[in-house]
Amino acid sequence: MDTTMRDAHQSLLATRVRTRDLKKSAPFVAKNFSQFFSLENWGGATFDVALRFLHECPWDRLSELREIIPNIPFQMLLRGANAVGYSNYPDNVIDGFCQMAVDHGMDIFRIFDSLNYLPNMKVGINAVGKANGVISAAVCYTGDVADKSRTKYNLDYYTKIVDELVKMGIHILSIKDMAGLLKPQATKILIDAIRQKHPDLPIHLHTHDTAGTGVANYLAAFEAGADIVDVAVDSVSGMTSQPTMGGVVAALQNTKYSTGIDLEKVNEYSAFWEQTRLLYAPFECTTTMKSGNADVYKNEIPGGQYTNLQFQAFSLGLGSQFENVKKSYIEANQVLGDIIKVTPSSKVVGDLAQFMVQNNLTAKEVRERGDELSFPSSVVEFMQGQLGQPHGGFPEPLRTQILKGKKRIDGRPGADTEQLDFDKIEAELRKKFGDDIIRKCDVMSYVMFPKVLEEYIDFKKQYGPVELYPTRVFFVGPDLNEMLDIEIERGKVLHIVVLAISDLMLATGEREVFFQVNGQLRSMKVKDKAAIKDHKVQPKADKNNKNQI
């Protein structure tokens, strides 16, 4: 499976790759890689980011890619009972979401839960089954099954989960090694054990190449009986992304596992993304991460979180203390009971780690002062049981100290939540934004992210179809005297040139922009938000204020 269109850029480029650039590579992929098992191009964080930061509709992305690539199955990442959101939704929301995804072109759903909590996974599995999608249930991997001293997440733990998933009627078993913790020996042990118990079950291995051992793990996986592995095209592979597509294809040549994929075509595909990646320089993980790092075997930070955690550390003024953040991540995980770490449970560990560094707290002090500390909200919600029940239970007495009497959930979160009335929500949105604006898919987006969807619609109404802008212009704006050709519809092109920008008008925080559209001179005033934020307005003199000089 090729993850270039989803997890690769989520791991390396902060999920910022636009539909425009995905569509540019799509015809080449359809023509040259029809033998791929699937393309992962949707779900996970891409849904939220498309609306929030790219001002795009994720449903349009899916249907437009489906139109260009009709011959390769599409795959998405589904967070069990959370769909693509971070909250617990009523069961009819998950059912409706999966059906809508299938209707827009989705085929295979990788369903996981951040704690491997089976009741949460069952909601997603049932929803995909009702929608006639392919059910790929994922077991999230942590620990080291080859290390006999680590008994919490041992081989027996994983095989029992697989047995339960098989009983639920899954089509594919996915092993989701989100931090890249598998080593070749552990890979062999785990996959061989599953293959021995379930000889006809397709096994799909997902990993991140943070330590650089990804290709070696895949070779071990094939020998042990795996059927499918996840790769990213070379120029967006490695480090916290997936192992290199070209490397895996080359490594399997002249063996019984040969893929039949043309390595020259992989190189052409990689060349496109090598150039396209340059457009996303502001979001590059290499700003803070220069290479792979085997310390992931100690800190167990998931690939998709590692770079985000670095950026967060810098934004909180902890950039120089990132090594301390990683050490605290280890301690925070143990304080929480050594949990499975993948969105959103990984955020709980990351938030607690940064909280510990900011407040100069050790694990011992957190346990001793649990009843007096004001913990991050994600930690409190985890302890309440809002993510589900962790393997081995919650740590006590810390849970009681953190909750301070707050409500506990001891079963599946959302199990007793009332069904959502989609018709009522649609009517309210149509009343607010207009019948010509709101579609069925917008209603579903609103259910996932209410505020984000409203801001997305407001932005579109104010600025129009910004997805038509070239990527560099979209992110950083045009250069003066640069000619932009914007095709607003087939055969209709706007030729735009920005001629000059005035100085900041301090009274209004605006600048006047002078430009040409198809040769006609125009101007408009634009709020300079960055300048407003930086500019400090001095208070007027007041004779009654004795503190003024």
Residue 385: give its domain's CATH number.
1.10.472.90
Q: How confident is residue 263, by pLDDT bands cut at 50, 70 and 90?
A: very high
Q: Which domain holds residue 489?
A: 478-534
CA distance 231 to 398: 40
323-374 pLDDT per residue, tens: 888 899 999 999 999 999 998 899 999 999 999 998 999 999 999 999 999 9
Over range 538-543, report the average pLDDT: 46
CA distance 377 to 311: 20
Q: Are residues 302 and 276 in the same domain?
A: no
CATH number, domain with residue 496: 3.10.600.10
Provide the pLDDT for residue 382: 94
Residue 463 lies in a domain: no
Q: What is the number of other CB atoms lying within 10 angstroms of the CB of residue 184? A: 17
Q: Are residues 17 and 143 in the same domain?
A: yes
Q: Are residues 224 and 339 in the same domain?
A: no
Residue 470 lies in a domain: no
Contact 349, 333 (CB under 8 A): yes
pTM greater than the 0.85 cutoff = yes
Structure tokens at 522: 């125009």
Q: What is the number of other CB atoms lying within 10 angstroms of the CB of residue 273? A: 21
Q: How confident is residue 163, by pLDDT bands cut at 50, 70 and 90?
A: very high
Q: Are residues 328 and 245 in the same domain?
A: no
Tell how strand 134-140 and strand 108-111 pair up. parallel
User: How does DSSP assign 175-196, residue by residue?
Assistant: EEETT----HHHHHHHHHHHHH
Q: How confident is residue 293, by pLDDT bands cut at 50, 70 and 90?
A: confident
Provide the pLDDT for residue 265: 98
CATH number, domain with residue 79: 3.20.20.70
Helix/strand/coil for 218: helix
Q: Are residues 383 and 262 in the same domain?
A: no
Q: Are residues 391 and 497 in the same domain?
A: no
Q: Are residues 191 and 49 in the same domain?
A: yes
179-204 pLDDT per residue, tens: 999 999 999 999 999 999 999 999 99
Residue 414 has pLDDT above 70, yes or no: yes
Provide the pLDDT for residue 534: 56
Among 354, 371, 403, which residue terminates a domain?
Answer: 403
Which residues lie closer than 8 Å to 455 by C-beta, 6 or more apart? Answer: 52
Among 403, 419, 447, which residue terminates a domain?
Answer: 403
Q: Are residues 311 and 271 in the same domain?
A: no
Q: Are residues 104 and 224 in the same domain?
A: yes
User: Is residue 108 exposed (0-12), middle (13-18) or buried (19+ Cβ within 10 Å)?
Assistant: buried
Residue 92 lies in a domain: yes
Q: How many domains does the chain have?
A: 3
Residue 445 lies in a domain: no
Residue 10 has pLDDT above 50, yes or no: yes
Residue 160 lies in a domain: yes
Helix/strand/coil for 341: coil
Q: How confident is residue 543, by pLDDT bands cut at 50, 70 and 90?
A: very low
